[in-house]
């Protein structure tokens, strides 16, 4: 019988690193026309984990943030080739509205000229060759595709 003074291990919260098939299908079904801006929220590992991509691993351990820098350096030429651009990169931190224990290390806004160009970019063989840096770097993430709406508010 377990003691009243011992606690069972807390389950790890789910982590989100890649879109599911259902999420990908829902993205396509939205039928977004025109530019798509992707809001990226990223939390990095303290030490990058290259166990799934040992061929990309550096000789000595690096931080998740350093691995993500390698991912961005690899990715930017493919992003630009596909008509996309990096609009904003900024540091995150704890959220102002939301769960008190939630924090994001980096926030990015990436513009793609269309949903189709985003999908072509994300499936490009050259781009996929460096995706292991992102996998090694990121502990958790969110990706929110956004499209411009006609707003009654002055901008």
* Domain map (residue ranges) of the chain: 35-138
Distance CA 80, CA 87 (A): 12
Q: 3-state DSSP call for residue 136?
A: helix
71 CB-near residues (< 8 Å, 6+ apart): 130, 131, 133, 134, 137
Give me the residues paired with residue 43 across strands: 140
Give me the pLDDT at residue 15, please: 84
pLDDT at 150: 80
pTM of the model: 0.87
According to the model, what pLDDT value does residue 31 have? 92
CATH for 35-138, options being 3.90.1110.10, 3.30.70.100, 3.50.50.60, 3.30.465.10: 3.30.70.100
**pLDDT higher than 80, residue 10:** no
Any idea which residue has 């390698």 for tokens? Answer: 70
What is the pLDDT at residue 6?
55
CA–CA separation, 23 and 82 (whole Å):
22
Indicate the pLDDT class of residue 84, thresholds 50, 70 and 90.
very high
Q: What percent of the chain has pLDDT over 70?
A: 92
Are 93 and 107 spatial neighbours (Cβ–Cβ below 8 Å)? Answer: no
């Amino acid at each position: 019988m377990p003691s009243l003074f011992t606690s069972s291990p807390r389950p790890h919260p789910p982590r989100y690193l890649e879109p599911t098939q259902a999420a990908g299908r829902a993205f396509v079904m939205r039928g977004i026309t025109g530019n798509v801006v992707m809001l990226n929220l990223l939390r990095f590992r303290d030490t990058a984990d290259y166990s799934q991509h040992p061929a990309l691993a550096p000789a000595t351990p690096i931080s998740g943030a350093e691995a993500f820098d390698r991912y961005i350096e690899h990715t930017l030429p493919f992003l630009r080739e596909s008509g996309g651009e990096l609009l904003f990169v900024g540091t995150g931190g704890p959220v102002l509205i939301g769960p008190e224990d939630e924090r994001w290390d980096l926030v990015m806004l990436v513009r793609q000229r269309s949903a189709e160009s985003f999908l072509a970019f994300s499936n490009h063989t050259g781009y996929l060759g460096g995706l292991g840096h992102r996998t090694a770097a990121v502990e958790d993430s969110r990706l929110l595709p956004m499209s411009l709406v006609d707003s009654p508010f002055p901008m």
